[in-house]
Amino acid sequence: MIGTVFVDANVFLYAHDEGDPARMPRAYAWVDHLWHGGLGRTSMQVLSEYYVNLKRIAGASLPPEEAWERVARFLAWKPHPVDELLFRRAREIEQRWRLSWWDSMVMAAAQLQGCALLLTEDLQDGAVYGGVTVRSPFTLDVREPAPAYTVAPLPNPRHRGRGRPRKAGAQPPKAEGGRRKAEG
């Protein structure tokens, strides 16, 4: 998989939910894959939601220190803060796509971090919002190839570049500003 992936709170919760043996291994595989690949992203809002729900769901079976440690390890992913930029982007998303405020905040954080993929169970699987594709970790396998989520390389121009043809073995001149302009 190429590109960063934003992880929502429900994926973190399912990764350790022994009460749901069908979803736990899939969610855990995603989190583990993203952790080891350095591709995982999240936000402070998501980590807050994860922490509150982890304590609520686990109750007395999970000591508060362990709940904190599970959440705090994801600070290594440099979660996006709840700030003015996030608020403004979330408002644009809320108005354009009519998502709930909380889902708009998640989508805004994913967009602001340049993520190609958002793993969540809360939005429609396969929907695309501003370049971020929503996928459920329970329908998209971590081993599934992801060419649909990568940026396609530019095709080779069909016409030769302007100017004289190059001599055999000669190095092409460096174009100013990057690529050479193709004839139209």
Residue in 99, 71, 79 with CA at minimum distance from that of residue 12: 71
CA gap 33, 38 in Å, rounded: 8
How far, CA to CA in Å, does 64 sit from each of 67, 78, 122?
5, 23, 26
Tokens of 173: 């001149």
Q: Return the HEC string of 78-124.
A: CCECCCHHHHHHHHHHHHHHCCCHHHHHHHHHHHHCCCCEEECCCCC
- What number does CATH give the domain 5-148? 3.40.50.1010
pLDDT at residue 108 tops 70: yes
Predicted local confidence at residue 167, as pLDDT: 55
Sign of CA dihedral 44, 46, 52, 55: negative
Specify the pTM: 0.77
Domain ranges of the chain: 5-148
pLDDT digits (tens, 9 = 90+) for 49-83: 999 999 998 888 899 899 999 999 999 999 999 99
pLDDT digits (tens, 9 = 90+) for 110-146: 999 999 999 999 999 999 999 999 999 999 998 865 5
